[in-house]
Structures are given as C-alpha cells and as structure tokens.
A and B are shown apart, each in its own frame.
Chain A
Amino acid sequence: MNPYVPRIAVIESIVDETPDIKTFRLRITDGGFSFVPGQFVMVSVLGVGESAISISSHPDDAEKFIEISVRKVGNVTGSLFRLKPGDKVGVRGPFGNGWPVDKAVGKDLLIVGGGCGQGALRPLILDVLRHRDRYGRVEILYGARTPQDLMFKYEHDVWASVPQGCLLLTVDRVPPGVEWKHNVGVVTRLFEHVTVDPANSLVCICGPEIMMHFAVKGLLSMGFKESQIYLSMERRMKCGVGKCGHCQIGGKYVCKDGPIFTYEELKLEPDKIL
C-alpha cells in the first residue's frame, strides 16, 4: 500500500469549539479504521496541502467516525474551516505511537492540557470515562487563553464528575463581562491542587512547548520522575511516516518515534524549548 496516498473521508458534522477551533467528525468512506489515543492523521485538502492533526475522538468509535479538532493557523487549516458537512477531505494514518494507556493501567493519571493541545488528550479522557476501572485517581488540568478558548465545554461537566478525579480549569485572562468561577493564571498554577501520588502515576501533557517546559519543571520539583512524564510533541510534518525529515528533533522523529515521548527520552535532544 502506498503510504503517501490519502483515503477519502466525508465530513459528517462540524462543531464550533472556540472562535478559532472547530471539531470535524469524519467518516472514512472505504471502511476500516482503528487507532490508539494520542495518534494523529495527515489531513489533506487536495490542491492546498496536508497537515498533521491529532485524533480527538475515542478509538471505540473509529469504525463509525473519527474526530479532529483543528485550530485555524495556516493554509490547510484555513481551507478546512471553509468546508461544510458533506465535503470530502483526504486522510492518511493513523500515525505515531499514542499515550501509554497500557502502562497506565492501575496507576493514577495526571492529564495536563494547554490550548488546542486538549484535542490530543481528549481520547485519553474519553478512555478514562469509558473504562474507569482501568485507572486509579485521574486529575485533569486544562488551561486556555480565555474562557471562550476552552474546547469541549459541553463535556466538562462529565469530565468533572469522574469518580476519584477532578477537572481543574484555568485561563490566562478573563475579558470584561465574562463570567468565570475557575482559576486565573498559567496551568502550572494548578499544580498546588494536585493530589495524585507521584510514586504511582503517569503524567500526560499536551500544549504549547513553552507551557510543557514549565509543566515539566514543576512536576520534577513535585517528585515526578522524568520517565513518568509523557509529552505530545508538535512539529510540522510533510509525510508522517519517518521519511521527509521535517519533524526531526535531533535523532528523533516526532511522527514515528512520537508524537508522545517521555521527558527522559527528549531531554538531551537539541532544538526544542522543552
């Protein structure tokens, strides 16, 4: 099979998450699709180009649909924003390694998201909701620029009601006139409320690299080990299959060795903020 040729997917529905993020529900037209939480797809708008985008839905639904949550940042994502339900896009993948769901069995989970990074974490959160008994205590920390920039607001009540867990939200600032009863400040400010046991837990983080940089610093000082901290990295990709070279971080390929790495794996590589 030619890994460079996309399959055709139909846009079934579109949800406006924030002023610049939409979630597209896609049905792959030629059948079977499976993935693990944390993997990504290469999405094509033919004639414009292709972008790497995390899958934001749960693997159990993959036979029926996958969802991608896209922030409008460039040509391809801009073109996606102009599409309507019924329109078709190209999809290749899934690619990458995924969150350590097997290693996390029986352990506490600390999930830390920033901005549109929450899209890559949602499959993991949905997995906790659907298979609650697999995990220990689960704490979700999520930060965005403003209350309007939070994704999946319609699911927050469900996330917050996970037994033996919590959802802590924070925003950088609250525009005048907006009601906000949660925290204000960077996401690492929420660390003081964390109660998972560093000795028996995994941390999964996805967000801007500068946010992950400070999150790692904070977590290390709280007693988490470098090998317990999983980070979903983002680099522009042209192929998704470890050939084009664009996503290299030193000797690592984000597309095939990642996108999820432990801090231990990445800390000695050059050319990153982390």
Chain B
Amino acid sequence: MGKASQLFKTDLKGLDRLIKKLRSDGYVVYGPVKRGRSWFFLEIDSVKQVDLNYVRTVLPPKKLLHPPREKLFEFKLGDGFEVSEKPMPPTVALFGVHPCDLKAIERQDEFFSQTPEDPYYLARRRNALIIGLTCTRVDENCFCLSRGTGPEVSTGFDILITDVGNGYLLEPGSAKGLELLKSLGFQEVGDEYLEAKQKLIEELKKSFTKQMPPEGLAELAKSMLEHEVWKETAERCLSCGNCSLVCPTCYCFDVYDVLELNLRSGVRVRELDSCQLLEYAEVALGGNFRRNRFQRLRHWMLCKFGVAGGGLYSSCVGCGRCIVYCPANIDLTEVASRLRGGG
C-alpha cells in the first residue's frame, strides 16, 4: 500500500468485531488455531481461538482455495451423457495469512488466470476475502526474507493486520477491505504507525538464519542436472509427497472419474497430486519418464527453484513447510547451497 491510503487502528476486541462482521456478511472465516504443537487454518468465530503469534500452519491456506479434492462436475449416463456443474462453494475469509502465504496465493492467482482460466479456482478466489497478518516471530526454517516474499508485503490482501505493540494497525489493500474497515468504525491513524511497523519488521529481519536467494538459482540448477547432490539427497527421500502437499505454491492435480454403484451416474474429481509420487509421470504401457527417485526429487526442486513446472508461479516463497514436514529431513535450501558450491 502506498502512503496515500487510509490507516486504521484497533484492539483485540476490534479484531473480534471484524471476524463477527465477516461471519454476518456470509463468509466462512478461517484462522490459524493452535492444536498441540502445530497450527492449522480452522473455522473460527472469535479472535480468542486465533494465535496471532503463530509461526506457520501445517497446510497452507491453499487448502481453502485449491482444495485437496474437489468435484469438477457430475454426470449421468444414458444415451450419451449429461453433465451438471456443481454449485459454488461457500465464500471464505482467510484471517491471519502471513506474507509468504499471501505471496503464494498471488502466484496461484496468476497461474490459474492463464488462458484458459481455471473456473473453479477463480470463482472461489473472487469471492474470498483475505486478511494478512505481519509475522511477530520467525523460526529456524523461515527464509522469506531471502526470497523477497516477506516479511514485508504490499499486495495480496484486502486488509493487513500488524501488531504494533499498543494495538493493531490495519491497512486496507483493496476497496473491499477499506469499505469493511470504515464500516466497523475503526479509529483512523497517521503514518507514524507505518514507521512503527517498519521498525518492528527491521527488527524481525535480524532473526532470520536460513536463506535461499533466488538470484541466478534457476539458471544454475538447470545447468547442473547431473550434479551429485540430486542422487545423494534422493537416497534419503521417501517419495512420500509431503513436500508437495504442504507447499503453498504446488498446484498439480490428478483427475479421475468415480462411478456410482448403479453405473448410471458419477462424478469427475480432481485431487492434489505430487510429482514425487511414482505414478505421476507414468505414460502408456508402463513407461515412466521419472522412474528414478532422484529424477522426481530433482523435478520438484527445479520447480521450486523456478525452472520447471509452473516456473515462477510455483517457485518457493520460503515458508519452510517442506523442510519442517519432510520425514527424511531434506532441506531444499541445503541443496541450493550445494549447487552454489557451498559444501
């Protein structure tokens, strides 16, 4: 947001009013909720359920915009077939999305907007409202700073919340967001709050330890397809696909038909898929162009480095999830640094 935009301030009660207002406007509101030692985007009706100091959720908010499984259409078989598209899902509001995930949503928006547009994703996205949340802390697996995807963020949200110590700064990022803030009668404040926010962010930047700068990485990785790091790392890889499922920019899906037992009707479904799984690159007659595990690991990492798959649209935003949830402790930033000649 530019300096010209209006700024608002509120307290915890105000955030609660915001959530309640969204619900009364018909949104199903999801926010980061702590369960055990992890956070999850779950449906909320009060700010009390939300942990505003969370680090990262297990699954990114992708699960609400590009769901793990969704019906593309229903069909009836008879003389040929009839197809009926499913009704629109409920409209969602995402409360408390961190900058890395905001950036990932922007990339998915662009990816699914390419011709021909993906009507399912875009319909859901157009109806969605996104409330960003500036991070209050980072852990050893956060590296958005080096990716240029955080901790500052200027687009991709309708409202951005920042805890500035003596309250919450609210920045509108869209007309919809501004209207909402005005309707709630929040107190307008001046630019000094932006300065306070900037100070906090500068402080936060000092706590990043991990990094994977994008500069030249794509070209470098593509020129090192035979580097030993791919095979060495793949020896540990279990090909479980966790990294894809938790990645906020992985979009790949499988499509299949499910026929009812009466054999007269059914549904065509799409389901998130992963290039780490053996079946992903299978072709006719049992062929497979990524039969070796190192090829699958390399393809996924090349995609995250921005030089395979969706290119920049599916490249890494530095959220750290694939590192945290890899059962074999594989860290793509270590692979990147090996490619750069660092050990």
Interface residues in chain A, defined as those with a beta carbon under 8 Å from any beta carbon in chain B: 1-6, 8, 10, 29, 46-50, 71, 73-74, 88, 90, 234-236, 238-239, 241-246, 248-251, 268, 270-273
Neighbour of A5 across the interface among B73, B266, B282, B285, CB < 8 A = B73
Q: A2 touching B85 by the CB < 8 A rule? A: yes
Would you list the 4 A-B pairs with minimal beta carbon distance, nearest first?
A: A245-B252, A88-B80, A73-B284, A3-B116
Minimum CB–CB distance from A144 to chain B (whole Å) comes to: 16
Is B237 an interface residue, CB under 8 A from the partner? no
Given known contacts A6-B83, A251-B307, A271-B295, A74 and B284 CB-to-CB distance under 8 angstroms: yes
Q: How far is the CA of A273 from the CA of B77 in the complex (A)?
A: 40
Is B325 an interface residue, CB under 8 A from the partner? no
Minimum CB–CB distance from A211 to chain B (whole Å) comes to: 13
Q: B299 touching A246 by the CB < 8 A rule? A: no
Neighbour of B309 across the interface among A4, A5, A71, A248, CB < 8 A = A248
List 11 A-B pairs, Cβ < 8 Å.
A4-B268, A50-B255, A88-B80, A235-B281, A238-B270, A241-B116, A245-B275, A246-B273, A249-B289, A270-B302, A271-B290
Q: B256 touching A49 by the CB < 8 A rule? A: yes
Interface of A is mostly: loop
Q: Which residues of A contact B309 (CB under 8 A)?
A: 245, 248, 251
Q: How far is the CA of A217 from the CA of B116 in the complex (A)?
A: 36
Q: How far is the CA of A50 from the CA of B257 in the complex (A)?
A: 9
Minimum CB–CB distance from B7 to chain A (whole Å) comes to: 38
CB-nearest residue of chain A to B81 = A46
Q: A47 touching B253 by the CB < 8 A rule? A: no
* Pair count A-B, CB < 8 A: 119
Q: Which residues of B contact A10 (CB under 8 A)?
A: 80
Q: B116 touching A5 by the CB < 8 A rule? A: no
Q: B281 touching A47 by the CB < 8 A rule? A: no
CB-nearest residue of chain A to B222 = A268
Interface of B is mostly: mixed
Q: B118 touching A5 by the CB < 8 A rule? A: no
Q: How far is the CA of A246 from the CA of B270 in the complex (A)?
A: 13
Q: How far is the CA of A245 from the CA of B280 in the complex (A)?
A: 9
Given known contacts A235-B289, A270-B302, A246 and B257 CB-to-CB distance under 8 angstroms: no
Interface residues in chain B, defined as those with a beta carbon under 8 Å from any beta carbon in chain A: 72-73, 75, 77, 79-81, 83, 85, 111-112, 114, 116-120, 222, 225, 251-257, 259, 263, 266, 268, 270, 273, 275, 280-285, 289-290, 295, 298-299, 302, 307-311
| Residue of B116, B119, B253, B263 ringed by the most chain A CB atoms within 10 A | B116
Known: A4-B72, A244-B255, A245-B309. 4 other contacts (CB 8 A): A47-B263, A243-B251, A245-B275, A246-B280
Q: How far is the CA of A50 from the CA of B81 in the complex (A)?
A: 14
CB-nearest residue of chain B to A234 = B283
Q: B77 touching A271 by the CB < 8 A rule? A: no
CB-nearest residue of chain B to A252 = B308
Q: A250 touching B308 by the CB < 8 A rule? A: yes
Q: How far is the CA of A199 from the CA of B118 in the complex (A)?
A: 43
Q: A8 touching B311 by the CB < 8 A rule? A: no
Q: How far is the CA of A235 from the CA of B290 in the complex (A)?
A: 11
Minimum CB–CB distance from A271 to chain B (whole Å) comes to: 5
CB-nearest residue of chain A to B80 = A88
Q: How far is the CA of A71 from the CA of B284 in the complex (A)?
A: 10
Minimum CB–CB distance from A236 to chain B (whole Å) comes to: 5
Given known contacts A235-B289, A271-B289, A248 and B275 CB-to-CB distance under 8 angstroms: yes
Given known contacts A250-B308, A270-B302, A2 and B295 CB-to-CB distance under 8 angstroms: no
Minimum CB–CB distance from B300 to chain A (whole Å) comes to: 11
Q: Which residues of B contact A250 (CB under 8 A)?
A: 222, 299, 302, 307-308
Q: A8 touching B80 by the CB < 8 A rule? A: yes
Q: Which residues of A contact B118 (CB under 8 A)?
A: 3, 243
Q: A270 touching B295 by the CB < 8 A rule? A: yes
Q: A235 touching B283 by the CB < 8 A rule? A: yes
Neighbour of B266 across the interface among A3, A46, A239, CB < 8 A = A46
Q: Which residues of B contact A74 (CB under 8 A)?
A: 284-285
Q: How far is the CA of A73 from the CA of B284 in the complex (A)?
A: 6
Given known contacts A243-B253, A248-B275, A250-B302, A47 and B79 CB-to-CB distance under 8 angstroms: no
